[in-house]
């Protein structure tokens, strides 16, 4: 079940009056002016963190802290330290958050600021809660509660009681949690805090659900839903709808569960249209969990045989994963439409608040009967933009669930199909990790067995349909850990998949431009990291063969230019974008789990561009970006969203498609594949995906580079059709 976000996650500390400042930097000499600047920075940080820019807030608050210490303003110093603790908590650095909160607490106690002390104690409780140290969280929340009661701070009292309820809920002491939540609810109703009241109603719904009391759980969540709609809290509305969907699913009311989940997702897609309107206190908790709603809805739809709708949900899931990772996704006009409601669902939509646990079986049965009476053409209606898929192309969407994997296939002029393979998520992860380990080791001969097992899981169930559709190209939208392995290297016992199909990874079809590209003569801008400057600055190994790689490109293409070593700088590359349609970067690039800032591309002079900065490039004339020395999952594999993020950032910058590598291939192997790729690309009417497939097949049939380490590492993402 989803949990409603905590009430007092961010209790910011302010100091002084907000100053109206017209200059970005004040050259202050007097103590009064210095204090005004520090107060401005403190308020600036609060606004930055509230709108999701907690990294920037760290800088603002650190600058404020320095000034407060210089002018010996202890109240300001305590406020800045407390807010730094908040920022570190929001960034997931809980130990660091506690360190700053404790420093703030000492100062606020010293100057006898009871209100500030109570706020910091509550924030310490929240930080310990995030660490899973619930007993400590309770201790600090009780101290915060005592101060709130002493100074007659009714809002603070209600918040502390609610957070105590959350801590006891996390300990599994649901009756105790309910006791605290009911006290909190009474206060929040008394002071007419509708937002806080709604949140506590959601907490109560969660607690009663944990006790198996579905009637009370649904009642409290419906009250929460009503308040979110009244106060126009879209993120809270989406969460309430999702929680109701989850409970109705558990209670075996699948049609109603689907309707609530659909509404939850449609609210989320509406939020994405104007992402900055989302309250960040609620957004963080909501975004952490909302992706699971997409998966649960897709699972329910597949079980009901409603595959077109499931495909649409899976596509929106990709967009949601990007939002969780990059925080800058507005989607498209297509994704903003959300999930289509069937006519019986539309008719039921206005009656959602009248549903109770007691009448839900009857209502679910009525809804199911009306859906079953719909013409098949209505249930299986394919969106117009999906009908633009070129002939010979098939969409392949796997969905990893806890106990199985679902494979959805769609090709032109057909109805999408779904196939099920029983395998636990843990077993699948082990298989993927073993396969990847065998692929990256050119001395290993153990790759064919896992390659065959994965072929049996992912391709065999839909093999006949691929043949029937006369597919020559697979647009592949991998899920989770599957993003770390190339399906080109799946093996049917006789052939690799790369020998049978052109393959391009898909970000999401709702973000995909199916319009064919105009074939133009390749004009290539190529840069190479030999290693001298970058090796010294970033500790990266030299890549001497990259110099030969880009020279070979220059020799093959008259309209090309190469930049190497110190001449290969970010500024030099960016100044030449407009004159070329292919950008080839033979340099270290690393896409890693965690934050987008952990992923980067290095230039020959030691410059670096982070993944989240790629959209700064304005490259609408670039058809293709090639990263020939890229690595993913260095040190640890996650869900592969950083690979999805790379594809999206390139596309958002204006490029049509990209080629990158899943692991670092040795220089000679890379040079061989790239030489073959560009030789094919020179030919008339050869697309990026087709050229890559031909290059891979040429290495498969060579004696020196036929190990899949060399040819399967490279994958296309975007519109290379």
Report domain extents, the chain: 138-212, 240-274+305-381, 384-511, 524-709
Per-residue model confidence (pLDDT) at position 359:
86
Structure letter (DSSP) for residue 616: G
- Locate 412 and state its tokens: 């032109």
**What is the C-alpha to C-alpha distance for residues 521 and 609, in angstroms, rounded to an integer?**
28
**Sequence-ordered list of residues with C-beta below 8 angstroms from that of 63, at least 6 positions apart, any chain:** 38, 41
**What is the C-alpha to C-alpha distance for residues 528 and 566, in angstroms, rounded to an integer?**
10
**What is the C-alpha to C-alpha distance for residues 242 and 263, in angstroms, rounded to an integer?**
8
Q: Coil, strand or helix: which one is 525?
A: strand
**What is the C-alpha to C-alpha distance for residues 623 and 651, in angstroms, rounded to an integer?**
10
Q: How far is CA 633 from CA 66, 476, 593, 599, 672, in A?
A: 38, 19, 7, 10, 24
Element (H, E) at 668: helix 667-681
**What is the C-alpha to C-alpha distance for residues 12 and 573, in angstroms, rounded to an integer?**
43
Per-residue model confidence (pLDDT) at position 718:
85
Q: How far is CA 253 from CA 297, 359, 582, in A?
A: 13, 11, 53
Q: Coil, strand or helix: which one is 504?
A: strand
Q: Is the dihedral of CA 73, 74, 80, 81 positive or negative?
A: positive
Do the strands 393-400 and 404-410 form a parallel or antiparallel pair, or are they unpaired? antiparallel
**What is the C-alpha to C-alpha distance for residues 77 and 314, in angstroms, rounded to an integer?**
48
Per-residue model confidence (pLDDT) at position 272:
65
Choose which CATH entry (3.30.420, 1.10.3470, 2.40.160, 3.40.50) describes domain 384-511: 3.30.420
Q: Mean pLDDT by 10-residue block, N- to C-terminus, for the chain (721 residues)?
A: 39 50 47 91 88 82 95 94 91 92 96 94 95 96 97 96 96 98 98 95 96 94 95 88 94 95 88 54 49 91 94 87 72 65 89 83 92 88 79 94 95 89 96 95 90 98 95 95 96 97 89 66 89 57 83 88 91 91 90 83 89 88 89 72 87 90 86 93 90 97 95 89 68
End-to-end CA, the chain: 41
Is residue 673 within 8 Å of residue 710, measured between CB atoms?
yes
CATH for 524-709 is 3.40.50.1460
b/e burial code for range 635-662 (CB count within 10 A of at least 16 → b): eebbbbbbbbbbbbbbbbbebbbbbbbb
Fold of 138-212: 1.25.40
Per-residue model confidence (pLDDT) at position 539:
58
**What is the C-alpha to C-alpha distance for residues 62 and 54, in angstroms, rounded to an integer?**
12
Alpha-helix residue ranges (DSSP H) falling in 420-518: 425-440, 448-458, 463-468, 497-500
- Locate 522 and state its tokens: 């390749």
Is residue 670 within 8 Å of residue 628, measured between CB atoms?
yes
Q: Coil, strand or helix: which one is 358?
A: coil
Is residue 444 within 8 Å of residue 391, measured between CB atoms?
no
Is residue 695 within 8 Å of residue 673, measured between CB atoms?
yes
**What is the C-alpha to C-alpha distance for residues 591 and 641, in angstroms, rounded to an integer?**
9
Per-residue model confidence (pLDDT) at position 38:
93
**What is the C-alpha to C-alpha distance for residues 323 and 507, in angstroms, rounded to an integer?**
12
Structure letter (DSSP) for residue 634: S
């Amino acid at each position: 079940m989803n949990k409603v976000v905590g009430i007092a996650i961010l209790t910011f500390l302010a100091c002084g009056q907000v100053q109206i400042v017209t200059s970005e930097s004040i050259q202050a000499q007097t103590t009064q002016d210095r204090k005004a600047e520090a107060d401005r920075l403190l308020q600036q940080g609060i606004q930055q963190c509230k709108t999701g820019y907690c990294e920037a807030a760290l800088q603002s608050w650190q600058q404020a802290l320095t000034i407060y210490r210089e002018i010996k303003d202890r109240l300001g110093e305590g406020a800045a330290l407390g807010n730094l603790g908040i920022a570190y908590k929001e960034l997931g650095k809980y130990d660091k958050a506690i360190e700053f909160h404790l420093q703030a607490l000492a100062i606020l106690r010293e100057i006898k600021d009871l209100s500030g002390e109570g706020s910091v104690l509550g924030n310490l409780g929240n930080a310990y809660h995030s660490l899973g140290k619930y007993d400590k969280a309770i201790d600090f929340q009780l101290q915060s509660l005592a101060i709130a009661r002493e100074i007659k701070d009714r809002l603070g009292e209600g918040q502390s009681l609610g957070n105590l309820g959350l801590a006891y809920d996390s300990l599994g002491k649901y009756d105790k949690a309910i006791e605290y939540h009911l006290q909190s609810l009474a206060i929040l109703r008394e002071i007419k805090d509708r937002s806080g009241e709604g949140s506590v109603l959601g907490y109560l719904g969660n607690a009663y659900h944990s006790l198996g009391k579905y009637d009370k759980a649904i009642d409290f969540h419906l009250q929460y839903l009503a308040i979110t709609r009244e106060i126009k809290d879209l993120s809270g509305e989406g969460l309430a709808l999702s929680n109701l969907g989850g409970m109705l699913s558990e209670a075996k009311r699948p049609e109603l569960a689907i309707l609530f989940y659909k509404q939850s997702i449609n609210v989320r897609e509406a939020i994405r249209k104007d992402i900055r309107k989302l309250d960040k206190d609620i957004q963080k908790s909501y975004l952490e969990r909302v992706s699971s709603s997409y998966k649960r809805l897709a699972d329910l739809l597949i079980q009901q045989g409603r595959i077109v709708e499931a495909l649409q949900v899976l596509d929106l899931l990709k967009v949601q994963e990007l939002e969780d990772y990059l925080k800058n996704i507005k989607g498209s006009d297509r994704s903003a439409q959300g999930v289509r409601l069937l006519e019986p669902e539309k008719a039921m939509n206005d009656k959602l608040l009248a549903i109770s646990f007691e009448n839900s079986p009857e209502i679910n049965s009525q809804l199911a009967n009306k859906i079953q009476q719909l013409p098949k053409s209505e249930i299986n209606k394919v969106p117009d933009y999906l009908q633009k898929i070129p002939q010979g192309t098939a969409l392949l969407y796997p969905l990893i669930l806890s106990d199985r994997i679902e494979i959805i296939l769609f090709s032109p002029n057909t109805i999408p199909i779904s196939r099920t393979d029983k395998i636990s998520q843990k077993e699948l992860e082990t298989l993927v990790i073993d396969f990847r380990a065998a692929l990256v080791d050119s001395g290993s001969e153990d790759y064919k067995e896992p390659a065959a097992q994965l072929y049996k899981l992912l391709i065999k169930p839909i093999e006949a349909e691929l043949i029937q559709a006369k597919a020559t190209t697979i647009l592949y939208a991998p899920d989770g850990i599957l993003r770390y392995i190339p399906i080109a290297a799946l093996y049917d016992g006789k052939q690799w998949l790369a020998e049978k199909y052109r393959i391009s990874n898909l970000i999401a079809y709702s973000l995909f431009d199916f319009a064919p590209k105009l074939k133009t003569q390749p004009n290539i801008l190529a840069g190479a990291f030999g290693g001298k400057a970058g090796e010294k600055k970033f500790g990266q190994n030299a890549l001497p063969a990259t110099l030969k790689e880009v020279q070979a490109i220059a020799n093959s293409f008259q309209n090309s230019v190469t930049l190497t070593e110190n001449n290969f700088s970010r500024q030099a590359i960016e100044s030449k974008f407009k004159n070329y349609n292919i950008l080839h970067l033979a340099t270290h690039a690393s896409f890693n789990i965690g934050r987008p800032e952990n992923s980067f591309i290095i230039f020959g002079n030691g410059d670096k561009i982070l993944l989240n900065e790629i959209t700064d490039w304005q490259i609408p004339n670039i058809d293709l970006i090639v990263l020939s020395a890229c690595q993913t999952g260095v040190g640890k594999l996650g869900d592969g969203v950083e690979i999805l993020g790379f594809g999206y950032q390139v596309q958002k910058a204006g490029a049509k498609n990209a080629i990158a590598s899943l692991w670092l291939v040795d220089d000679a192997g890379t040079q061989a594949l790239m030489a073959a790729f560009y030789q094919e690309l020179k030919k008339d009417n050869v697309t990026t995906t087709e050229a890559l497939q031909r290059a891979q097949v040429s290495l498969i049939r060579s004696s020196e580079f036929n190990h899949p380490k060399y040819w399967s590492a490279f994958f296309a993402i975007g519109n290379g059709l």
